[in-house]
Amino acid sequence: MANNTGQAISMALALFIAMLGFCCAIIGLSGALSGDEMDNWIRGVLWVLAISGGMMVYGGVTMFFGSKKKIEDTTRDEKELAEAVKKPVNIDDAIQSVREQAAKPFPDKNTLLAHWTYSDKEWKTFTKKEFNVSIREALFVWLLLVGIGTWLMSGYREMGHLAAFITCFSTGALITFIRFIIAYNARNANPSKPGDVIISAKSILINGTYHTLNDEHKTLSKLELLEDQTPQLLEFTVIWNTRKGQTNEQVRVPVPSDKLSEAVKLVEVFNNDVIGKY
C-alpha cells in the first residue's frame, strides 16, 4: 500500500476546519437572526462570522474529498506500477515508450521507466543521510523563523519581544515537529524490506512511499544527477502553485552502483521528453 500519511493528516485537518466552521456558522446565524436587541455593528459582526463559518465548511469539505481522491489515485497508481515491475524493465524500450507517449495529446503518465533494488547496507546509508538532511533543514527553518519572525513581529506589529519570541518559537516548533514526523515516517517505510525504487513519468515509489512528479497540481521542472554525492543521487525538482506563489520540493533517489548508465539515460529522457510534455 502507498504511504499516504501526508494526505491522512490533510483529511484530519480538513475535518477540523469544517467542524470549526460549522460551529462559527451556527453561532453567527443564531445570533444574527435572533430577535434580541443589539447594535447594528454587532449584528453585522455575527453575519460576518456566519458567512466565514460557511466558507470554512466549504473549504474543509473540499479539502477532505480532495485528499481522499489523492489517496485513491496514489493507491491505484501503486498497484499499476507493482503489476508492471513483475516483468523485467528494459531501459531502452521504456525510453522509447515514453517518447511515443510524449507525442500524444494525452500521454500515459504511468509509463514505467526503471525499477531499482538495493542491498541492505546501501539502503540504510541513504535513508540515514536523507533523514539527517531533513532534520537539518527543519532546524534551520525553525531558527530562521525565530530570529527574523521575532524581529518583524516586535518591530512592525508593536508586539512585545517576549510575546513575539514565544509565538515564533511555538510556530517553528510545530513546523519542525511535523517535518520530523514526515522524515521519520519516510525513513522507516517498509523497514523489513530491502530498498526498492520504482520510477515512472508520473511518480516515484521509494520503498512504498509515493511521490508525485506530474499530475494536475504538480509538475516536474528539473532532473539532475548529483555525481558528487555518495552514493550518487537523482534529484527530481517538483513545482506547484500556492496562494503565495510557486513552491517546490526535491525528491532524491540513490543510484545503485551498477545502474549509473541507466541514471544518465533517465536524466536525458526526463529533461528532453517528459518535462513540459506530460
226-255 confidence digits (pLDDT tens):
998 888 999 999 999 887 788 888 899 999
Q: Report the domain count for the chain.
A: 3
Exposure on the CB side of residue 186, measured as CA atoms within 13 A: 24
Same domain for 234 and 277, yes or no, is: yes
Residue whose entry in the numeric block shows the C-alpha cell 515514453: 98
121-130, 159-168, 253-262 — which is least confidently predicted?
A: 159-168
Same domain for 98 and 221, yes or no, is: yes
Single out the residue in 184, 211, 228 at which a domain terminates. Answer: 184
Same domain for 69 and 23, yes or no, is: yes
175 and 149 in contact (C-beta within 8 Å)? no
58 vs 141, residue with greater confidence: 58
Same domain for 247 and 200, yes or no, is: yes
Residue 177 domain-assigned (yes or no): yes
Query: Phi-psi bin for 256: left (phi > 0), alpha (psi -120 to 50), beta?
Result: beta
Average pLDDT over residues 156-160: 61
Residue 265 domain-assigned (yes or no): yes
Please check the confidence at residue 197 and state whether its pLDDT lies above 60: yes
pLDDT tens-digit map of 2-53? 456 667 778 888 999 999 999 999 999 998 888 777 788 888 889 999 999 9
4 and 71 in contact (C-beta within 8 Å)? yes
Q: What percent of the chain has pLDDT over 90?
A: 25
Same domain for 51 and 145, yes or no, is: no
Average pLDDT over residues 78-98: 81
Dihedral sign, Cα of residue 100, residue 103, residue 104, residue 107: positive
Residue 190 domain-assigned (yes or no): no
| Collapsed DSSP state (helix, strand, coil) of residue 201 | coil
Q: What percent of the chain has pLDDT over 70?
A: 88
- The rounded distance, in Å, linking the Cα atoms of 172 and 175 is 5
Sequence-ordered alpha helix ranges (H) in the chain: 5-32, 40-84, 91-102, 120-144, 150-156, 161-187, 260-269
Same domain for 207 and 113, yes or no, is: yes
Same domain for 170 and 200, yes or no, is: no
Average pLDDT over residues 183-205: 73
Same domain for 108 and 238, yes or no, is: yes
Residues with Cβ < 8 Å from 35, sequence gap 6 or more?
A: none
Average pLDDT over residues 203-218: 85
pLDDT confidence bin for 58, thresholds 50/70/90: very high
Q: What's residue 158's pLDDT?
A: 57
Q: What's residue 1's pLDDT?
A: 43
Residue 224 domain-assigned (yes or no): yes
Structural domain containing residue 139: 128-184
Please check the confidence at residue 192 and state whether its pLDDT lies above 60: no
Residue 123 domain-assigned (yes or no): no
Same domain for 151 and 252, yes or no, is: no
Residue 189 domain-assigned (yes or no): no
Average pLDDT over residues 160-171: 80
Q: Which of 204, 223, 202 is nearest to 214 (CA)?
A: 202
pLDDT confidence bin for 77, thresholds 50/70/90: confident
Same domain for 217 and 249, yes or no, is: yes
212 vs 192, residue with greater confidence: 212
Dihedral sign, Cα of residue 38, residue 42, residue 47, residue 52: negative
Same domain for 113 and 210, yes or no, is: yes
Same domain for 99 and 234, yes or no, is: yes
Residue 71 domain-assigned (yes or no): yes
